[in-house]
Amino acid sequence: MSDWSLTRILSDLHQDIERRLASARSTLGHSVAKGSASERVWLELFEKYLPQRYQARGAFVVDSNGKFSEQIDVVIFDRQYSPFIFNFEGQLVIPAESVYAVFEAKQAINATQVEYAQGKVESVRALHRTSLPIPHAGGVFPPKPLPHIIGGLLTFESDWSPALGEALRTALASPVGRLDLGCVAAHGVFRGGTDGSYELEQGGKPATAFLLELIAMLQSSATVPMIDVRAYAKWLAS
């Protein structure tokens, strides 16, 4: 009989994330240092457990019209089919067509941080994205519809009591920059429904539950559209 336990493996994964986020909050004195440490915890989780077609980095997002998003803590993007990712003086710049999901990483969730994350998410979703017809052996597939960019918020704890309750529902209600998924590692997970409602799941193993739900959502979004590289090339003449 095997001594392996899937329950233990999934539980340990959550406990590791929660412990590292708690350590960043309690040990580091400067708010910027705390924020950077928290971002690293989430980025390392994604880099370790997401399929290799995805990469996760802090980055700016740009479109073929030359418009940039705000700086995003966590951008999950395609690396298998994306023809270019810019790295300028250590700052990553990702074409809008390559983006699957964006998240803000904060110490605690509250109304201010929810609104802030909504603004960051909207700055990415508002960008222009191209989608070309796709050649194949039998002809040409039509351009893929642009997939929904998943947006969310990642924190260690909550400033509300209860941690995930009506105050959170109220803060999430804005249709602008709607957040689809979030994790409050010490307390629970929230998920947005297609009807505008939210499911708040308190307790359990939030970090692991969030990771599995994110993977399921990424699977549903399929592959990013075929980017029109020539639309970006026009900036060479500027």
- Residue range 169-227, pLDDT digits in tens: 999 998 899 999 999 999 999 999 988 899 999 999 999 999 999 999 999 987 888 89
* Per-residue model confidence (pLDDT) at position 7: 86
Question: What is the pLDDT confidence band of residue 80, given thresholds at 50, 70 and 90?
Answer: confident
Catalytic residue among 73, 78, 97, 122: 73
DSSP structure string for the chain: -----HHHHHHHHHHHHHHHHHHHHHH--SHHHHHHHHHHHHHHHHHHHS-TTEEEEEEEEE-TTS-BPPPEEEEEEESSS----EEETTEEEEEGGGEEEEEEEEEEE-HHHHHHHHHHHHHHHTS------EEETTEEEPPPPPPPPEEEEEEEEESSSSSSSHHHHHHHT-STT---EEEETTTEEEEE-TTS-EEEEESS-HHHHHHHHHHHHHHHH-SPPPP-HHHHHGGGG-
pLDDT at 85 over 90: no
* Per-residue model confidence (pLDDT) at position 31: 57
* Per-residue model confidence (pLDDT) at position 221: 87
* Per-residue model confidence (pLDDT) at position 18: 86
18 is catalytic: no
pLDDT at 11 over 90: no
97 is catalytic: no
Catalytic residue among 18, 63, 97, 104: 104
Q: Among 63-67, 135-139, 141-145, whose mean pLDDT is lowest? A: 135-139
* Mean pLDDT taken over the chain: 90
34 is catalytic: no
pTM of the entire predicted model: 0.90
Question: What is the pLDDT confidence band of residue 35, given thresholds at 50, 70 and 90?
Answer: low
Question: What is the pLDDT confidence band of residue 17, given thresholds at 50, 70 and 90?
Answer: confident
Catalytic residue among 34, 106, 120, 205: 106
